[in-house]
Each structure stands twice: as C-alpha cells, then as structure tokens.
A and B are shown apart, each in its own frame.
Chain A
C-alpha cells in the first residue's frame, strides 16, 4: 500500500472520529482526568485534534519547544511518565476501536512516543 501514514489511517475523517473517542477515554480515566478539570472542553478537543493529527503523521507545525511550553504548567502539577503512558494507552485503544491495523497503530504510537521528553519537560 502506498501513501503516507496519515492517508493510510484515513486522514481528516479518521482524526474527527478519533478525537471524541480519545477524549472520552481520557475524561473517564482517573489516572489523568484531574489534569483536565476546569479546562474549556471545546478548546481542549481542538488541541487534541491537532495532537492526534500529528501522531497520525498528518500536517502540523508543532515543535518540541511548543510541546514543552504547552505542558510546563502540568509538569509543575506533577505530570509524569505514568500519565504519559496512560495517554499512550488511550491512543492505541482509540485506533484499535477504529479498526486501524496493528502496524499503523505502532507507527502512530512511535510518533506520539517521540514527544515524551518534551511533554514531560525532561
């Protein structure tokens, strides 16, 4: 099969389907949902769409520095590897629910994983 990872996963339609499923998993997970208390849910959903687009190999302009700055206030509140692992799990589970093949899930997970140091401010 040719084309980029983003095209293979299903492009924008896949991201749109994924964002609600992913955000619901995050909000229902007591490991991480405290970091989302009091945030504007519309803005948060848009940010998650941007993040998932990046993980799916789609167009984005985020730099490591953006990731670092955007999460610094959460690192100050205790964001660590446990939480990052939980989010990684939700990305995988979301893609599984959308019937994305395992090798593509692994590629998306690798992209998300590559942000770990910046997200956690290491």
Chain B
C-alpha cells in the first residue's frame, strides 16, 4: 500500500484508489471535474516519488518533465509526496552580482542564489521586495552557459518592485527570490521541429534563454525569433542576437518596430503580423509567446488557427500587478 504525503500529513492509499479519491476521502480539497484523466482540473505535482505514466497522459511535455500528474488517474505503486500546482514558492536568498542597463528602461539583474538553485531557461521566479510584495521575472540565462541567473527588469512607472530594483539595489545586496516556476521552456526531443518565438519588450528575456538552450541542445530545425517594440529604442540585445544568427544557420532573428518607418535591418509592423506573414502555416511547429498579455493571447489564437497544435504552444503573458 502506498502512502501519500500532502502538506506534511500522510494518508494510506488503498489498492486501486486514486490519489484524488484518497486525498478527498481524508478531507483534502483537490479540485476535480471529469475524473477520467482528461480535463486536467486535478493537476498536481509529485515532489518526491514516481507517478505511473498513465497519470501523465495528455500533459504538456514541460509539465511531465516537472513531475506533474493527474490525481484522478494516478493509482500509485510507491509512496508519493504531492503538492497542488500553486504550492512550493518558498524563498531563497540570492546575492546581487551585477546590474547592467540593456536599454533606457530595461536592466539586466544578475543574481547568485545562495545554495543549490535548479531552473530551466525561460522559467520565471518571484522577486520579493518584502514579505507581501513580489513580482515575477523570467530567466534569460541558461544554467550551463551562464554563471549567474539573469533577469530583464523593465522599469514600470510607479512600479513598486521594478522601481526599487532600478533605483535602490546595488551589487552585494542580498534579496529573496522564489524557486523557478512555469512551463515555458525548451524540451529536447524532436530536434527537427520548427520553433517560432515571439516576444514584446522584456518578453525577450525567456526567449533569449530558450533560443540558446535549444541551440546548446543541438536543435537542428529552424528557430525563428521575432522581437517587437514601438521603436528601435525599446529593443535590446540586438548585436548579441545578430551574432547568434551569424553563428547558427538554422537561427534567424527579426527585430520589429510598430511605430513609424523601420530603419535598415528592422522589420516594420506589429511583431505578430510580421511573424505570421512570413510563417503563415505552422502545422507541426512549436511556439513560444512572451510579453504583453494582449499580444500573447492574440498570438495564441492566431498561431493555433495557423496550424500549431494546442499542446505545442507555450505562452507566458506578463500580466501587470494590480495596485
């Protein structure tokens, strides 16, 4: 008989009993709906122990890699410690290793977490100003290429965390961050698949990580990155990305500006329109979308209608904090 541990309490899971039935029988509220392994309402994560493969059927590959499973279709054969998806946001101290402006409003923040810190390029962390004030920032670094973890922090007018990061932080300061979260990252396998990445503003951060992670993993299929802003001043890492494109024949970088005439080397128009005009058929492609929520939501729908499978679309809308 397997034991299920949830929130520091353990329960006996009867033979042929699902994790969902076991937990709810003991009064643990786990949301559920279809109870047939389909609707994904009862999504949970195994903190330790192995879950049976049938409990991961239909999940995105990035969720499978992080040991997510469906509680209704998980009849465990070994002991498990499980958590709900929103759990596990404990604080980790990190030392500020450097602060480097990327353009007039975006700062690259380099951090050295104290102790072990595992992440995948493209995931995000919560950055704490104090116990009750935190904001999410994506990881632009790649753990095997970069010594520090790197964030691209845009200064939001009156932003309580971004303004503090821009104006008050100094190298050597210790700050609190969460563990790495989110399912927007590169998964190896299927190296010939086309990758389309579209970002606006500091939404380039996770994409910059994902592109370098994919190239490092030996991805051979086309990798197409489109980065958009109102003007050229809003773009950044232009030289680094052009160099990366010169060094890797399967990678292209298209910077787009939506206001006024685009100078040489830049495309003119809304980044999503530019990308879909060049890639109108996305059947079989994997898609990563980050940045402005309106762009991300429109892009999710448009790339799906252009043929990308729902399971191959990874999106990370940068939803602004509510005051």
> A residues touching B (Cβ–Cβ < 8 Å)?
12, 16, 19-20, 23-24, 27-28, 41-43, 45-47, 49-50, 53, 59-62, 66
Closest to B59 in A: A46
State in angstroms the CA–CA spacing of A4 and B305 once bound together.
Answer: 32
Q: Mark B288-319, 1 if CB is under 8 A from A, else 0.
A: 00000000000011001100011101000000
Contact B310 A23 (CB under 8 A): yes
Given A27-B301, A27-B304, A41-B304: A50 and B36 interface contact (C-beta under 8 Å): yes
| Candidates A23, A41, A43, A60; contact of B36 at CB < 8 Å | A60
**CB of B39 within 8 Å of the partner chain:** yes
A19 to chain B, nearest CB (A): 7
Chain B hits for A12, CB < 8 A: 57
Chain B residue with Cβ nearest A43? B40
B310 A20 Cβ-Cβ under 8 A:
yes
Closest to A17 in B: B309
A-B contact count (CB 8 A): 49
Q: Which chain A positions have C-beta within 8 A of B39?
A: 46-47, 49-50
Contacts of A49 in B (CB 8 A): 38-39, 58
Shortest distance from the beta carbon of A61 to any chain B beta carbon, whole Å:
4
- B residues near A (Cβ < 8 Å) are 33-36, 38-40, 57-58, 60, 300-301, 304-305, 309-311, 313
Partner of A24, one of B33, B300, B304: B304
Complex alpha-carbon distance, A41 and B298, angstroms = 11
B36 to chain A: which residues have CB within 8 Å? 50, 53, 59-61
Contacts of B310 in A (CB 8 A): 19-20, 23, 41-42, 45
State in angstroms the CA–CA spacing of A18 and B38 once bound together: 14
Residues of B within 8 Å of A66, CB to CB, are 33
Shortest Cβ-Cβ A-B pairs, 10 listed: A50-B38, A46-B40, A45-B310, A61-B35, A50-B34, A50-B39, A59-B36, A60-B36, A46-B39, A49-B38
Asked if B38 contacts A46 (CB within 8 A), the reply is yes
> Chain B residues with Cβ under 8 A from A42's Cβ?
40, 60, 310
Given A20-B309, A45-B310, the answer on whether A60 and B38 have CB atoms closer than 8 Å is: yes
* Apart from A23-B304, A61-B36: 8 A-B pairs, beta carbons within 8 A: A16-B58, A20-B304, A20-B309, A23-B310, A41-B301, A42-B60, A61-B35, A66-B33
